[in-house]
Amino acid sequence: MVNKKGWIRILEASIAIIIIFGVLAFMVQEKKINNGKDLSQELPTLLDEIANNNILREKIVTTADVAGVEAEIEDFLATKLTNPNIKYKVKICEMDNTPCPLVPYPTTIDNEVYTKERTISSVLTKIAPRRVKIFMWQETS
């Protein structure tokens, strides 16, 4: 073994290349997993905007036609969300302990359904709180 240093350098270079390829493979795999956007970050701000909108808040609390108010809130959300792959549904429920489900459940979901709810109450003429629940998901493209 006349030239030991040459073999050690070749071994070091080979190990360095293996480490670099390993890190690159890990980063590519992580990028594919996190391809979908985390929609849970957007829900609280959207609910805050709904709660701060006096017209929507009054309609949520006082209107008996819940389906009409849900459609108005969805139109309001359409102005805030610009990504065509993000779909959403709004449900308004009473404050009792009954569940507030998403019916019918969407079949074109790419990843997960994110949901958040907020209690809306107290306009000057009526104190009857209701829950506003937003379901949001990303459709398959």
Q: How high is the pLDDT of residue 33?
A: 46
Going by the DSSP 8-state scheme, the letter that residue 2 receives in this structure is: -
Q: For the purposes of burial, counting CB atoms within 10 Å of the CB of 121, is it exposed (0-12), middle (13-18) or buried (19 or more)?
A: middle
11-62 per-position pLDDT tens digit: 999 999 999 999 888 887 765 544 556 778 888 999 999 989 888 888 888 8
Task: Measure CA of the first residue to CA of the last residue in the chain; give whole Å.
Answer: 61
Q: How high is the pLDDT of residue 58?
A: 86
Please confirm whether the linkage preceding 106 is cis (ω < 30° from 0).
Answer: no
Residue type, 103: V
82-98 per-position pLDDT tens digit: 888 888 899 998 888 88
The CATH architecture one would assign to domain 40-139 is: 2-Layer Sandwich (3.30)
| Closest to 57 (Cα-Cα) out of 133, 128, 123, 126 | 123
Model pTM?
0.68
Q: What is the mean pLDDT of residues 102-108?
A: 79
Residues 6+ apart with CB under 8 A from 70: 90, 91, 92
> SS3 of 43, please?
helix
The domain limits of the chain are: 1-29, 40-139
